[in-house]
Amino acid sequence: MKVQDTVVVVTGGGSGIGAALARACAQAGAAQVVVSDRDAAAAETVARAIGGHAMAADVADEAQTVALIDETERRFGPIGLFCANAGVSVQGGVERPDADWQRLWQINVMAHVHAARALVPRMLARGGGHLLFTASAAGLLSQFDAPYAVTKHAAVAHAEWLAITHGGEGLGVSCLCPLGVDTPMLQAEAGARRELMSAGLLSAEAVAQATLDGLAADEFLILPHPQVREYMRRRGDDHARWLQAMRQFHAQARGG
């Protein structure tokens, strides 16, 4: 996947990894970068700085995602790279109310489904295109918060299904799974949790560059933190031992 001369859309592009991806794509010579965010002012600030175009959209709403895609292609031409990057988190476990679980499900999973539903037939018909889904290392391993870990696992599974089903038909699919990234979401964490999640902390800019490198290499799984691959191996080699290690990790986060 070459970003140069490509029309790129980045959701959640008003801050964090999304903003860094938008800047990196512009620097790489994208034909147009459409910065989308629920926060219209934040999207406009990023777009103005890179010579891109801002479009407000709440990806929890399928109609707004489809409108974003339709308007981008009407104005700038076929989307070559769609970065489904918007994501949210909430602290807690099964005690969280259904409304919280549903909100994370809509944004962390169904927004990816809606984008694929609109774009996959178009990309296949024109012989190519690339979908980039920002998940998390939590989608390969786990995390402190159940709704986040569960929905990120689902995001990875959805990306895998697309790559299996359509990867041989010209569709490119990549899944971005970083560990700790210096973003507003991480800085909102408190105390021991933030300290543990900051091990090997990367800047959003470093993650964006690793993402472009991964796209250029046609990687499905983009791991800006290389240690994630080792953690995955340990999980596969001895699942019971890995679960015990994760229990200890969670106890540290609780200060126990």
Question: Active-site residue numbers?
Answer: 148
The structure tokens 């889904």 sit at: 133
Cα–Cα dist 164/144, whole Å: 30
State the Cα–Cα distance between residues 239 and 157, nearest whole angstrom.
Answer: 19
The three-state secondary structure class of 82 is strand
CA 172 to mean position of chain CA atoms:
15
Look up residue 57 and give its two tokens: 């959209």
The residues, ordered by sequence, that sit 6+ positions from 73 with a Cβ below 8 Å of its Cβ are: 7, 79, 122
